[in-house]
Amino acid sequence: MNILFITLLDIRSIDEHNIYSDLMRQFAKNGHEVYIISPVERRQGMKTAFLSGEGEGIKSHVHILKLKTGNIQKTNIIEKGISTVLLEGTLKKGIKKYLGNVKFDLVLYSTPPITLVKPIKYIKKRDGAKTYLMLKDIFPQNAVDMGMMKKSGLKGVLYKSFRKKEKKLYELSDVIGCMSDANCDYLLKHNSEIEAERVTLCPNSIEIQDMTVDSVTRNSLREKYGIPLDKKVFVYGGNLGRPQGIPFIIECLEKQKNNKDAFFLIVGDGTEYGKLEDYFEKEKPTNMKLMKRLPKDDYDKMVAACDVGLIFLDYRFTIPNFPSRLLAYMQAGLPVIAATDPNTDIGKVITEGGFGWACLSNDSDKFAELVDKAVSADKADMAAKEFEYLKKEYSADKTYLGIMDSLK
C-alpha cells in the first residue's frame, strides 16, 4: 500500500526515535511505501524540500516532504491560530504539487491540528483512500479547559468554528484511534454521531529499546549534568506550558526544598518556562535544577541516570490526556509519579501496572507523600514490571498490526 502520513512533528529522517517515526518504520518494514508530510516552520528559514526514498533498505521506501508552513509550535496564540487555520490550504497545495502522481491507499494523521479537513477530504475523494485519525489531542475543548477559549461570547465564535472543524474531521475519518480507554469513552460521550465501531485503541507506542544504564554509566552521566550521586533524582522532561499546571509544579517544588534525600531535575521548554525560571532565580533551591530542552538522544541518556519520572497535568482538564513522555520513563526503567486531573486514566495505568503512584494535581501534600514513598521503593522490582508492561502494551509493531486489523 501507499501510505500518506501527515504530522506537525518535525521529522527529518525515518531513523529518528519518536512515536510517529517508530510507527512509520513498521509500515516500511512490512513492504509499504510511506510518504510523510512534516512541516518546516517559517522561523527555521528553510524552503520546502522533498526527500524521496533516500538510502537503502527501509529508507528506500520512505519519502519525506518537508513543507514550509507558518509558525505553529511554541509561539503565541495569535500566530499559532493564524498558522493553524492556513495549514490545510498549504497541505492541499503541497500534496497536489509534490504528490500528485501518487495514489494513496491509506491516509494517517494525528491531532493536533484539527484543521486537516481539506487535504484529507481531497485525498479520500481523489484516491478512494481509507482514512485513519490518531487522536492525540482533543481540541478545542482543551483550550476551553485552560481558559484560552470560551464557549460563549466573542471567544465563543472561535470555539464554535473550531468545534465544527473537529466534528468534520471525525466525520471524514473511517477509523479513530484513541490513546486510552478513557479517551475512547470521552470521544463517544461527547460526539454521539460517531459510531462506536469506528473508534478503537491506538496508544502512544515506540520501537522498544532497553535504555537502562549500569552504575558506572549512571554516575558518569550524573557528573556530566551536575546531578548529585547520593540522592534519589526525580526528573520531569518535556513541555512546560499551561497543560502542565506550572503553578502546581512550583507549589510541589516549594514543599521539597528541604528534602535531603531527593533531588528534582526539570528539563524542558515552553510558554510557561519563565515562571519556573523566575522561581529558581528567586529561591535558589539547592536540591533542584532547571535545564532548557536537550536533544532527544541526550535527554534519553540523562533520564536513564535518574530514579523516578514525573508527569504533571493541569487539574482543570476535562479531557483525558495521556502524555507520551511516559514511554521515555518506561524504557529507562524509572517508576513514575503522575499528578493529574481526575479525568485521565494515565494514573490508573501506572498504579495498576505496579510501576508508580498517582495523585490529583491540586494536592501538593499528597504529592509530597508519594515522593517519600518513591525514595524508599524497590526500584528494581518496579522497573521489571514496567518493562514487561511496555513490551505488552506500547510497542510500535503492535500498534501497526492494530491499525491494519481495524481497516479490514
Q: Give the closest residue to 309 by CA, choosing from 266, 272, 269, 343.
A: 266
Above pLDDT 90, what percent of the chain?
75
Domain that includes residue 296, residue range: 215-392
Q: Assess whether 341 and 239 both reside in one domain.
A: yes
Q: Is residue 404 part of a domain?
A: no
Distance, CA of 390 to CA of 330 (rounded, Å):
7
Q: Is residue 398 part of a domain?
A: no
Q: Count structural domains, the chain.
A: 2
Q: Assess whether 75 and 220 both reside in one domain.
A: no
- Name the average pLDDT for the chain: 92
Query: Which letter does DSSP use for residue 51 in this model?
Result: E
Q: Assess whether 277 and 384 both reside in one domain.
A: yes
CATH of the domain at 22: 3.40.50.2000
pLDDT tens-digit map of 121-162: 999 999 999 999 999 999 999 999 999 889 998 889 989 999
Q: Is residue 17 part of a domain?
A: yes
Q: Assess whether 158 and 241 both reside in one domain.
A: no
Q: Assess whether 309 and 179 both reside in one domain.
A: no
pLDDT tens-digit map of 42-94: 777 778 888 877 777 788 889 999 888 766 766 666 777 676 777 888 888 88
Q: Assess whether 198 and 226 both reside in one domain.
A: no
pLDDT tens-digit map of 157-204: 989 999 999 999 999 999 999 999 999 999 999 999 999 999 999 999
| DSSP state string for 218-287 | HHHHHHHTT--SSSEEEEEEEE-SGGG-HHHHHHHHHTTTT-SSEEEEEEEESTTHHHHHHHHHHH--TT
Cα angle: 348, vertex 350, 356; to 5 degrees: 125
Q: Assess whether 185 and 263 both reside in one domain.
A: no
Q: Is residue 281 part of a domain?
A: yes
